[in-house]
Every structure is written in C-alpha cells, then in structure tokens.
A and B are shown apart, each in its own frame.
Chain A
Amino acid sequence: MPLLEAEHLSIRFGGLKALDKLDIQIEEGEILGLIGPNGAGKSTFINVVSGFHKPSSGRITLNGENIVGLRMDQIASKGIIRTFQVSNLFMSSSVLRNIQVGFHLQSGIGFWGSILGNSKTRRQEQVLHEKALEISNLFNMGHLSNEMTANLPHGHQRELGVAMALAAEPKLLMLDEPVTGMIAEETLRFMNTIRAITKKKGTTTLLIEHDMKAVMGFCDRIVVLNFGKKIAEGTPEKIQKNQDVIKAYLGEKKDAQNPGPAS
C-alpha cells in the first residue's frame, strides 16, 4: 500500500480546473518529484494535501486513512509537513526559535509542565535546544542560530524553511520549490543535504520543482503535471525521453523531433 494515495482529485477555482481527476501514489521512503510547467497545478496539489484548500472532489488517503476535510494542523499531526514556495518564516524571530516551533508536534512538553517549569521540563527543553542546534548545523547555519531570520541571506532562508519542516519529523515531507532563486552550486549542495537527511531518516519526500534539471539527479521517481492532469510518470531517465513531457515544456515542433545535443 502506498503511503499517500490521491484518487480522482479535482479542484476548481471558478472556471479553472487546477487539478483534474489526478491520481498520484507516493510510496513509503521514496523521493518523488512532481514537475511541470508553471500553472500545472503542482503547488495546488501540495495545498490540497496539506489541507490549505479543500478539493472539489476525490479522495486522499494516508496509510489508507482519509484525510480530506481535516484542518491543516490535524494533517500536520498525522505526519504530513510542507514547506512554502516563498520564504514563509517567522521573520522577526531568531533562527533557533523558528526551528523550535517546528518541534511543536514532537516536544512532549505539556501545558502544566511548561507552566511549572520543573526539572523534567527543563531537561526536555535542553534536549530540544540541542536538537535545534543540531538541525541548524546540518544546514551550515549553526553560527547564525541567534540571528534574526529577516537578516538571513535568501539561500539560508530557503534552507531554514526545510529545517523547520524536518524538525517536525514528518512521515511525508512536501517541499514546494525549495531551491527557487538559488545559484547552481547552492542548489546542488542543498539538494544533496536534503537527500542525505531524508534517506537516512527514511522520510518520504515529495519535491516540487519546475526546473527539470534540478530534480533529475535527486528523485527516485517523477510525476509530470500539465494543466492539472498527469501526463507522465516514471524514472528520471524515462521522463527525460518522454515526448509528451518535452512537448509540455518546449511546445510542439512542426518538423521531426530533434534528439538534441546529447546524442
């Protein structure tokens, strides 16, 4: 059984069908790339799965359990954590505090524990503090942990968004264009870090990206969307050669298909 299964998922915004009877399965432990040109419905898919939008029709199940209609925090507490396309962070808080919010579902510190501040709570808080430092170190931000988030360079802000999501120890991590605006070296380093962490922890990952090159080396499998419909699915090698995908990205050619400079 797949970890997450979307069946016949549709959502309309007025006359626009942003998702059109979409079927997607995400297998446990894999890194699935969801790609497609702008406006294909990639982010809408994440928004629907995370509970930000309600689908017009269709089902989404996590381990066989329906999650349509749940609030965002309920879906998050089931282990589906997403990041945002723009750097959505707690800008006026420190890096460490951002990561600390990510621990919300894992902290194990209850209301009365917090109020009383007993030694057990203090120990737990100490552990969380160390874990937060550890996560910031994974993304080479250890020296910035007390810096105000708004002052971070763009690349670090993108990384912090992912760090917060990882702090929540998700079963399914959904990354919405995590490398937007990064230069090539940054992209490579960041994607390698994400892959290393998620593979080590066995975190199932859904990666959205419209830049095909960025995802090819990192995904186990790729699903391609166009106009809310799935047009292709398979390994990166297969997707690269798929005519429909090339058409969706580059438009149709009148003459015979050019195999490209790679040949």
Chain B
Amino acid sequence: MLKNRRLTPNMVLLVIAILLILFPMLSGNKYYLRTITTLAIAIVLTSGFRLIALTGQLSIAQAAFMGVGAYCSTLLIMNLGWNSWICFFLAGFAAALTAGIVGFITLRIKEIYFAIATLALNELFRLIWVEWDTLFGGPAGIVNIPSPDPILGIHFGSVVSFYYIAVLLLFSATAMMLRIERSRIGLIFSSIREFDTLAASLGVNLIWEKVKAFMIACFFAGMAGALYAHLQHFISPVDFTLMDSVMFLLYGVIGGLESVWGPAVGCTVMIFIPVGLRLIPNYNPVIEPIIFGGILILVMRFCPGGLVGLFQKLVSDLKKTESQKGEQEHAAA
C-alpha cells in the first residue's frame, strides 16, 4: 500500500513539467518568468556539455556554439529576411556543422588537451565576431533583433511567449538526452569514456562517435543561441565568452555529470542562489564569484558525483539502514 504511494522519478518529472507549463498562469511575475527562461537555456547548454563529457571529453566552448547559432539566425533574419522559425533550426544545424568540422580535427586529442583546444576555440570565435565588424557588428554587436515571426496569427514578443519557447526547447532537448541515455548511442558513448582502446577493439569508431556527441550538443546550443538572440533583442561577443562556457562546466559539475538530471539540478541551484541572495537587504552581488567558487570546492571535495550523486548516495544509504533494521528486527523476533 505504502509502496504504491511512493513518488517515482517519472511522476516527479510529470509534476515538474506540468508546473512549468502552468507557471505563467499562476504567477505573472515577469522577473521569475525571465529567470526560468534563462534557466531553461542554461540547462540545454549544460546538458550538451554533459553529453560531450559522456564520451570522456570536456568542451569549454559551448557558449561559442550558442553564439554561432545566435549570429547565424540573427544575420539570416536581418540581412536576408528569412522566416525566424526556419532560422531557428538553421541556427542549430549551423552550430552542429561547425562542431562537426572543428570536432573532426580536434577530437583526435583527448581529455585535458581537448579542453584546452576548445578553450582556444571559444576565444577564436569571440575574436572573429569582434574583428569582422562589417558582418558581425564588432564589439558593439547587433541591435534591434526582431521578435520571432507570428505563426497562425499568434504573436511572439511577450515574456510569456519566450518562456514557452524556452520550455519547449528544454523539453525536446531533455527528451533527446533521455533517449540517448537509454539507447545504444549512450552505451557506446560511455564505453569510450570508460575505456577507449577496448571500445575501439570492439569496432567503435572513436572519432566519429565523439564528433556525433559534439554535434548533437552543439545543435541544441545553436538553437538555444537563436532563442537567446530573440529574447535579448541584442547580441554581442560579450554574451558568448569563455567565462560563460566555464559556467556551463560549473553547473554540470555541481549538479553531477553522471546523471542525466545533473545539469538541470546544477543550473537550477546555481541560478536560484543569486535570486535568493538578492532578497537579503544591502546584499552586494560582487561577492557572488566567491560564493560560487566556494560551492564548487565543497562539491568537488565532498561529493564528486555532484548534488545528484550526493542525493543518490543518501537514498541508497537510507535503504541500506532500513534493510539492516529489518534484518535486526527479524533476528530479534
């Protein structure tokens, strides 16, 4: 009886999904709506970071690929007047294609060396956007990006409509990650991380599989970038810096890279901590990096599996003590 009432993970997800859909009707607070929109974009990016990490590689260039999507969609809409929904997908494909080309070259190197290569890559993209000012608008960026084109008379320009697009993107990205996780693709990805030589000896094409993961992650990063451009109505190279890429790494590590839910947990915690802190009177946001750094150190020292890992450990410990208790009672009887 009690077992049937227990919350299963799927039920928790369903409740969260319904809450996300109903939220704008329950609360008209635009600040929170915008925060959740930003959160959804961050989760999509961090999930991509985790997907790449699943193959044993660390990419510190996810913000750059978000930028590729943002610039691609913006330029096509503003210079060529293309439909923004088509550009939304083209942004994803452009980022994935860029990732494919770059990945085919750089994914031959492993682990920390790949991380350094992506770090340089992020900077490279920033410099292109800054220096090629005739096309990308230079450091000043591109202003007056229009809202997405209306579909069937529905106009997209309000905070609520962006909220729904972001949530839709989040749902589809999460569904994709879950499918990968539960299919052979995820199995092969994690086999590379666990032991690449063994995987290769069983016929796994290491470079191609890693490029695949990189491309899927960057596809979603590109779409998130296009959405971001519409949301802000303004993009500049400052929006897609190395520091932003590092933040996705931070969110991922704090949430836990082992679980598919890690990025969501990490992003939620790290984005709502500042929101909560600002409720304190006379709070100065300057100290935020110190708090973030402190949390990162604590997580890495005491729960290397991230917050999700910590939760899973607590649950399994609880189950163990429960079963031990049961055994003791049984023995006593």
Contacts and interface: CB of A to CB of B under 8 A. Distances in A.
Interface in B182-223: 182-185, 187-188, 190-191, 194-195, 197-206, 212
A100 B199 CA distance: 11
Nearest to A98: B191
A165 B199 CA distance: 11
Given A109-B184, A125-B184, A93 B201 contact: no
Given A104-B188, A107-B184, A93 B202 contact: no
Contacts of A125: 183-184
A71 interface: yes
A10 B229 CA distance: 59
Given A100-B187, A115-B183, A125-B184, A91 B194 contact: yes
A52 interface: yes
A154 B129 CA distance: 56
Contacts of A71: 200, 205
A115 B180 CA distance: 6
Interface in A69-92: 71-74, 76-77, 81-82, 84, 88-92
A107 B203 CA distance: 12
B184 A100 contact: yes
Contacts of B206: 73
Interface of A: 50, 52, 71-74, 76-77, 81-82, 84, 88-93, 97, 100-102, 104-105, 107, 109, 111, 114-117, 121, 125, 164-165, 168
Query: From DSSP, what is the main secondary structure of chain B's interface residues?
Result: helix
B176 interface: yes
Contacts of B188: 101, 104
A72 B188 CA distance: 16
A81 B199 CA distance: 11
A71 B202 CA distance: 12
15 contacts: A73-B203, A81-B201, A81-B203, A82-B201, A88-B197, A89-B195, A92-B194, A101-B188, A104-B188, A104-B199, A104-B202, A114-B183, A115-B180, A117-B182, A125-B184
Given A88-B197, A90-B191, A91-B194, A111 B202 contact: no
A91 B194 CA distance: 8
A46 to B, nearest CB: 10
Contacts of B194: 90-93
Contact of A101 (B176, B182, B183, B191): B191
Contact of B198 (A77, A90, A107, A116): A90
B47 to A, nearest CB: 15
Contacts of A115: 176, 179-180, 183, 185
A168 B203 contact: yes
B184 A73 contact: no
B179 A81 contact: no
Contact of B202 (A74, A117, A121, A164): A164
A168 B176 contact: no
Return the 10 tightest CB-CB contacts between A and B, nearest first: A76-B203, A114-B183, A72-B200, A105-B203, A90-B194, A101-B191, A73-B205, A114-B185, A73-B200, A77-B203
Contacts of A164: 202
